[in-house]
Chain A
Amino acid sequence: AQSVTQLGSHVSVSEGALVLLRCNYSSSVPPYLFWYVQYPNQGLQLLLKYTSAATLVKGINGFEAEFKKSETSFHLTKPSAHMSDAAEYFCAVTLGNNFNKFYFGSGTKLNVKP
């Protein structure tokens, strides 16, 4: 079975500080992993994806994530937070190469303080 656990439903950082959003997955087959961002009353926008190539994945807006198989983790980081990063972030997993269904975590709301 596939599932995603996001630790911390709310994370608050100061502008300019490191952003770290945690995601652990469970998958019976090699996973493909994704991070999405959602702004209020909007759909989800793809930030980055891991599809079995490089384990360190760079995405849009300065975000990156590292796939660690031994830790079953795919944490999202950004060196320096901007006010515009305040949003909800979702980690998602899909089966091997079957992209017919994504399993999403429950989300982490990021607050950026001035």
Chain B
Amino acid sequence: DTGVSQDPRHKITKRGQNVTFRCDPISEHNRLYWYRQTLGQGPEFLTYFQNEAQLEKSRLLSDRFSAERPKGSFSTLEIQRTEQGDSAMYLCASSLTDYGYTFGSGTRLTVV
């Protein structure tokens, strides 16, 4: 396992549709994070899992967003009823220790 894997790399969807992204962390990493990055900005924290428990959620994660990490392995991030403002790069990261993350390459979402 060479890194954090995200699927798909790109997603174009019509406004109002639901989308789901997947993140496969480095296998021994027990912590998993989701961030959102809009054009010209740094990543913004969305949510954090330790094993299967979702321990923190940003207020950016509205009720249209839900994230899961069943069995503490891969994670999914679902956006319901997508809006144009949801267009962004969604980044997943994982870590084992308290020092720095390993980021995936991201999923770029375009809502048309």
A residues sitting closer than 8 Å to B (CB atoms) are 4, 9, 34, 36, 41-46, 49, 51, 90, 92, 97, 99-107
14 contacts between A and B (CB under 8 A): A41-B106, A43-B103, A43-B104, A44-B43, A44-B101, A46-B100, A49-B100, A92-B42, A99-B31, A99-B99, A100-B48, A100-B56, A102-B45, A106-B40
Q: Are A104 and B48 in contact (CB under 8 A)?
A: no
Which residues of chain A are within 8 angstroms of B95 by Cβ–Cβ distance?
99
Out of A42, A51, A90, which one reaches B42, CB within 8 Å? A90
How many angstroms between the C-alpha atoms of A51 and B44 in the bound complex?
A: 21
Tally of B interface residues using CB under 8 Å: 26
Which residues of A lie under 8 Å from residue B41 when comparing CB positions? 106-107
Complexed CA–CA distance, A89 and B108 (Å): 19
Number of A-B contacts (CB under 8 A): 60
Complex contact A101–B48 (CB within 8 A):
yes
Shortest distance between the CB of B81 and any CB in chain A (Å):
27
Does B91 make an interface contact (CB < 8 A)? yes
Closest residue of chain A to B45, judged by CB?
A101
B99 and A105: CB pair below 8 A? Answer: no
What residues make up the interface of B, taking CB atoms closer than 8 Å to A?
4, 31, 33, 35, 40-45, 48, 55-56, 91, 93, 95, 98-106, 108
| B3 to A, closest residue via Cβ | A43
A41 partner, pick from B42, B48, B101, B105, beta carbons under 8 A = B105
Nearest 9 A-B pairs (CB), nearest first?
A104-B42, A43-B103, A99-B98, A44-B103, A43-B105, A101-B45, A46-B100, A100-B48, A104-B43
A105 to B37, CA, bound (A): 11
User: Which A residue sits closest to B48, measured CB to CB?
Assistant: A100
User: Is the pair A51, B56 in contact by a Cβ cutoff of 8 Å?
Assistant: no
